[in-house]
């Protein structure tokens, strides 16, 4: 993978683009601390806490247990991922409403469609507030209305000083976002 260098401050967003296999997901996972860095470093200006504890990572897998209801899944991640210093977390009901999915809250996650599961994974962003969002292909399997909901949620997050990094091929509705092109063919 080539060398990359970027800095983001409050409210900014960065879109990672590039062909399949360019290293978009690898970069996001490395930022999340799920892969070791071959070289270089990541820093938070406010280094009062670890990077991993101040970010959300939405990958290809949703991290939802099929045997548990949507509410139980979100309640768990809310308890597990919330930070004491963070702003007030949304209740699972409200987080799902933001993605237009409040009616499935008592259904086991295993019964939902791919798009619904993805929206529940995105609702995790709201039940445990964290400032940095790493989104890997967030619009996969989402319909037009859900994409608009995601764009609105991301805009609100940035308005509150949050940072969004999204790896994507399709427009995700991030306005005034920087773009980092990976693996451009020479």
For the bound state, the minimum distance from the C-beta of residue 2 to another protein, rounded and expressed in Å, comes to: 19
Q: Nearer Cβ to another protein, position 133 or 173? A: 133
- Helix (H, G, I), strand (E, B), or coil: what is residue 165? strand
Task: Please tell me the distance from the alpha carbon of residue 6 to that of residue 8, in angstroms, as a whole number.
Answer: 7
Q: Nearer Cβ to another protein, position 8 or 37? A: 37
Tokens coding 173: 């509705």
With contact defined as beta carbons under 8 Å apart, do 163 and 131 qualify?
yes
Would you tell me which residues interact with another protein (CB under 8 A)? 29, 32-36, 49-50, 52-53, 55-57, 59-68, 72, 75-83, 124
- Helix (H, G, I), strand (E, B), or coil: what is residue 158? helix
Q: Nearer Cβ to another protein, position 85 or 184? A: 85
For the bound state, the minimum distance from the C-beta of residue 35 to another protein, rounded and expressed in Å, comes to: 4
Task: Please tell me the distance from the alpha carbon of residue 151 to that of residue 147, in angstroms, as a whole number.
Answer: 6
For the bound state, the minimum distance from the C-beta of residue 181 to another protein, rounded and expressed in Å, comes to: 24
């Amino acid at each position: 993978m080539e060398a990359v260098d970027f800095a983001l401050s409050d409210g900014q967003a960065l879109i990672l683009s590039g062909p399949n296999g360019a290293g978009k997901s690898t970069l996001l996972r490395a930022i999340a601390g799920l892969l070791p860095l071959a070289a270089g470093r990541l820093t938070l200006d406010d280094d009062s806490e670890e990077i991993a504890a101040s970010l959300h990572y939405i990958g290809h897998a949703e991290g939802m247990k099929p045997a548990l209801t949507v509410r139980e899944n979100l309640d768990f991640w809310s308890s597990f991922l919330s930070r004491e210093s963070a702003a007030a977390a949304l209740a699972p009901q409200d987080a799902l409403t933001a993605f237009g999915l409040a009616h499935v809250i008592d259904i086991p996650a295993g019964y939902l469609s791919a798009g619904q599961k993805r929206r529940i994974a995105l609702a995790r962003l709201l039940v445990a507030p964290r400032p940095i969002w790493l989104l890997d292909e967030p619009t996969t399997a989402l319909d037009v209305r859900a994409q608009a909901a995601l764009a609105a949620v991301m805009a609100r997050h940035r308005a509150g000083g949050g940072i969004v990094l999204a790896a994507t091929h399709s427009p995700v509705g991030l306005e005034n976002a920087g773009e980092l092109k990976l693996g451009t063919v020479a």
